[in-house]
Structure 1
Amino acid sequence: MYNLNIYSSERSFAVTIERVLNNNAALVRENGAELVVLGKGVAFGANTGDEVDAARVEKKFKFEDAALTRFQQTVADIPSEHFALAYRAINYAQETLGKKLNDSIYITLPDHISTALVRYRENIPLTNPFKWDVKRFYPEEYKVGVHINNMVKDEFDVLFLDDEAAFMALHLVNAETGESAELSIAYDITTIIQEVCAFVKDYYGKSFDEDSTAYYRFITHTKFLAQRLCLDQHFAEEENSIILNMVERQHPKAYACAIGVKEMLGEKHGYSIDKNEIIYMAVHIASIAAA
């Protein structure tokens, strides 16, 4: 896990540059620790040994050694203008989503945008098999991805397909989990949501109104369930057998479906779902079935 601290421009920042990474990023040393500072033009025209312009410092990071090495390599391989756009995109995402993103996003999103620009200029766009599910399950993150596509078009005159918006949305979802891994967790979460939705649809033998409030709540719950499973998190509350029995009596089909979801995820992935999860799942299934 990386640590991120945000400082205002008024904060005293009497440190010197050890290495210029690009116009908007530099490696510095403060109190014996190596840090990365970010800010528009923070390293523009600077050299090793120059004092950092405190007014230009917007963020600073303290990475673990391996992450610091990777960040430096990533920044070194990315044109400064690509990194600058990605940096603005991350700021936009955090403001729009209202969520703290893991520091890994400062590696993964610039790398993705820069690589995609190279691919498109070589006429090698990639399709995203999760595109439609990303639009359904992560609509806000997808909208941010579309906005980033527009930023790329305005600045570089390269028109990304919607597939790229979905890829970038998954990077944001991954950063929201608080994990520093690549897209694997986001893909795993999305796969679980797909499997649960398909199971419930097949169990009832019908489609549901995906525009209904009940379905939105069902997807939201399933998303959080998938995140908890992938991150090995569980409810802290004690199991409530009274409520469990009540849900089973009032919504027998939804309860049986929730049990089926539990068994399916256990067989496919080895996940264990407790009774509290079954209660919530059954209630949401009953709601979408009645909508």
Structure 2
Amino acid sequence: MKIDKIINNNIVSALDIDGKEVIVIGKGIGFGTKPGKAIAEDKVSKVYHLDNQNSMDKFKELLVNLPLEHLQVSTEIINYAKSVLNRSLNQNIYITLTDHINFAIHRFKKNIEFSNPLIHEIKTFYKEEYLIGEYAIALIERKVGVKLPVDEAGSIALHIVNAELNSAMRDTIGITNLIGGAVKLVKEHFSRELNEASLNYQQFISHLRFLSQRIVTKDPINYLDERFSHAIAQMYPAEYECSLKVRNYIFETFHYQLADEEIACLAIHIKRLGV
């Protein structure tokens, strides 16, 4: 690889063997060199490949004044998330999560703290991602010497969810609010709490996650058997009535009309909750 641009003493952009731009980090990799020079392999600790030039330009802009340890800890968190979740993440997480962690550390050092209003929903609806957020908080303390507040675990978790869904952060927050609103309606309809530790509850949340993602991204839902909805309404009238309330909430809040069959699917999941 040859240096294309020196970003700072520890980060450079370079051209790989295919002529594509990459970001290369390594201690002192940009010190005392210049564009066009070959990069010594023993100095390279990490190479970043981003999908498009716009993302690459944003990443380079972020890295100019970024402490190397902030990038390294963010990368370690992302690698851990990939291994735990066993699924791909949108590569823009290298930009969004790194920027968030860098800003959160600076805020903390200036004694500026923000609470996360969605912390309960994140803990409940995104259990795996929240545990990764807790891991991240511990890792940042160990690597950077800064103990961020527990609410930051929720914020980090949302960035991971965002990368999983491949959506904008506003959509991820919209999805979280939609799930929370639906769960609240079920509790109110049956006047009782739900067993959040049960498998059926987790399956209900999983169904709402995929449903809400389609709603927020305006992805149409196509079903063929209209008899299915009528049969479920007859079998589970109380649960179907509750799912109609969820349908009305979704339409009023997100301006999306659920298909009759999707309402029936919701009723089935509500029935399994044992309310």
Per the normalisation by structure 1, the TM-score is 0.86
Q: Which amino acid aligns with 2:234?
A: R
Give the distance between the partners of 2:274 and 2:28, measured in 1 at CA.
55
Deviations 1:2-39 (CA, angstroms, capped at 9, x unpaired): xxxxxxxxxxxxx3111133566432235885522345
Residues 108-187 of structure 1 correspond to what in structure 2 (within 5 A)?
108-179=96-167, 181=168, 183-187=169-173
The gaps in structure 1 that reach 5 residues or longer are: 1-14
Determine the C-alpha separation between the residues in 1 that align with 2:76 and 2:7. Answer: 17
Using the TM superposition, give the Cα deviation of residue 143 of structure 1 relative to its aligned residue in structure 2, in angstroms: 0.4
1:95 counterpart residue number: 83
Please list the CA deviations of residues 146-201 of structure 1 after superposition, one character each: whole Å capped at 9, or x if unmatched: 0010011111221111100000000000000123x3x2122111110111111111
C-alpha contact 2:12 2:25 (8 A) present in aligned 1: no
Deviation at 1:59, TM superposition (A): 4.5
2:269 is the alignment partner of 1:281 = no
Residue identity matched to 2:179 = I
Indicate if the aligned counterparts of 1:247 and 1:282 stay in contact, CA closer than 8 A. yes
Q: CA deviation at 1:101?
A: 0.5
8 Å Cα contact 2:69/2:144 also seen in 1: no
Q: Supply the distance in 2 between the matched residues of 1:99 and 1:255 (Cα, whole angstroms).
A: 34
Letter in 1 for 2:200: A
Q: Which residue of 2 aligns with 1:261?
A: 246
Q: Contact 2:228–2:261 at 8 Å: present in 1 too?
A: no
Structure 2 residues not aligned, in runs of 5+: none
- What amino acid is the match of 1:118? H
Deviations 1:231-261 (A, max 9, x none): 222334x332222222111101111111221
Match of 1:242 in 2: 227
What residue identity is the alignment partner of 1:244?
A: S
The question of whether the paired residues in 1 share the 8 Å contact of 2:89 and 2:166 is answered with yes
Aligned to 2:2: 16
- Structure 1 residues 23 and 133: CA distance shift in structure 2, 3 A: farther
Whether the 8 Å CA contact 1:34–1:62 is kept in 2: the answer is no
- Contact 2:13–2:24 (8 Å) recurs in 1: no
For the residue of structure 2 that corresponds to 1:77, the secondary structure is coil
Matched positions, count = 273
Deviation for aligned residue 1:98: 0.9
Q: Is the 8 A contact 1:39 1:57 kept in 2?
A: yes
* Contact 1:86–1:110 (CA under 8 A) maintained in structure 2: yes
Counterparts in 2 of 1:275 and 1:39: CA distance versus 1, 3 Å: farther
Which range is displaced more, 155-164 or 227-236? 227-236
- Residue 54 of structure 1: how far off its partner (Å): 5.4
Q: Check 1:83–1:57 CA distance in 2 against 1; reply closer, same or farther (3 A cut).
A: closer
Identical positions, percent: 28
Q: Give the alignment partner of residue 14 of structure 2, picking from 6, 28, 43.
A: 28
Deviates most, 35-44 or 207-216: 35-44
Match 2:60 to one of 69, 72, 85: 72
Q: Which moves more between the two structures, 24-33 or 140-149?
A: 24-33
Q: Kindly tell me: are residues 49 and 277 of structure 1, through their superposed partners in 2, closer, same or farther at Cα, counting changes over 3 Å?
A: same
How far off is 1:78 after superposition? Answer: 1.5
- Change in Cα spacing, 1:167 to 1:62, as seen in structure 2 (3 Å) is closer
Superposition deviation, residue 289 in structure 1? 3.3
